[in-house]
Amino acid sequence: MKLDSEIQIQDLKAPLEKFWKLSGEKIELIEKSFDPAKGAPVFTEKGQYVTRGWTEWTQGFQYGSAILQFDATGDEKFLKIGRENTLHKMAPHLTHTGVHDHGFNNVSTYGNLLRLMKEGKIPQNDWEQNFYELALKASGAVQAMRWTNIPSGGYIYSFNGPHSLFVDTIRSCRALVVSHALGHVLQGENDRRISLIQRAIQHILSTINYSIFYGKGRDSYDVPGRTAHEIIFNTNDGNYRCPNSQQGYTGFSTWTRGLAWAICGLGETLEILDQIEESDYAIIISKKALVEELLEAAKVTSEFYINNTPTDGIPYWDTGAPGLVHMGDYLNQPSNPFNEFEPIDSSAACIAAQGLIRIGNFIKYSEPELYDKYTKAGLQVAQALFRSPYLSEDPAHQGLILHSIYHQPNGWDYRPEKNKAPYGESCMWGDYHARELALLIQRTLNQETYYSFFNCIQTL
Q: Is the peptide bond between 416 and the residue preceding it cis, with omega within 30 degrees of 0? A: no
DSSP 450: P
Quick one: average pLDDT of 424-453? 98
pLDDT category, 226, cuts 50, 70, 90? very high
Q: Which residues of 56-84 are buried (b: 16+ CB within 10 A; e: fewer)?
A: bbbbbbbbbbbbbbbbbbeeeebbebbbe
Q: Is 384 in contact with 294 (CB distance < 8 Å)?
A: no
Q: d(Cα 400, Cα 386) in Å, to the nearest integer?
A: 9
Q: d(Cα 47, Cα 228) in Å, to the nearest integer?
A: 31
Q: Which pLDDT belongs to residue 249?
A: 98
pLDDT category, 429, cuts 50, 70, 90? very high
Q: What are phi and psi of 143, to 5 degrees?
A: -60, -40
Q: d(Cα 362, Cα 356) in Å, to the nearest integer?
A: 10
> Which CATH number does 9-453 carry?
1.50.10.10
Q: Which residues of 88-112 are buried (b: 16+ CB within 10 A; e: fewer)?
A: ebbeebbebeebbbbbbbbbbbbbb
Within 8 A by CB and 6+ apart from 127, the residues are: none
Residue 145 has pLDDT above 90, yes or no: yes
Quote the percentage of the chain above a pLDDT of 70.
100
pLDDT category, 78, cuts 50, 70, 90? very high
Q: Which pLDDT belongs to residue 460?
A: 66
Q: Which pLDDT belongs to residue 114?
A: 98
Q: d(Cα 429, Cα 37) in Å, to the nearest integer?
A: 20
DSSP 449: P
What length is written for the chain? 460
Q: d(Cα 244, Cα 449) in Å, to the nearest integer?
A: 40
Quick one: average pLDDT of 448-455? 98
Q: What are phi and psi of 44, to 5 degrees?
A: -95, 150
Domain boundaries in the chain?
A: 9-453
Mean pLDDT over each residue of the chain, to the nearest integer = 97
Cα 372 off chain centre by: 22
Rg (CA), the chain: 20
Whether the full predicted model's pTM is greater than 0.85, yes or no, is: yes
Quick one: average pLDDT of 273-300? 98
Amino acid at 354: Q
Q: Which pLDDT belongs to residue 37?
A: 86
Residue 459 has pLDDT above 80, yes or no: no
Quick one: average pLDDT of 357-370? 98
Beta-strand ranges (E) seen in 29-76 are 43-45, 48-50
Residue 54 has pLDDT above 80, yes or no: no
Q: d(Cα 389, Cα 274) in Å, to the nearest integer?
A: 40
Residue 163: CB atoms within 10 Å: 17
CA 192 → CA 95, 138, 182, 228, distances in Å? 20, 16, 19, 34
Quick one: average pLDDT of 361-387? 98
Residue 301 has pLDDT above 80, yes or no: yes
Q: d(Cα 54, Cα 77) in Å, to the nearest integer?
A: 31
Residue 378 has pLDDT above 70, yes or no: yes
Q: At what angle do helices 368-385 and 346-362 cross, to 10 degrees?
A: 150
Amino acid at 376: K
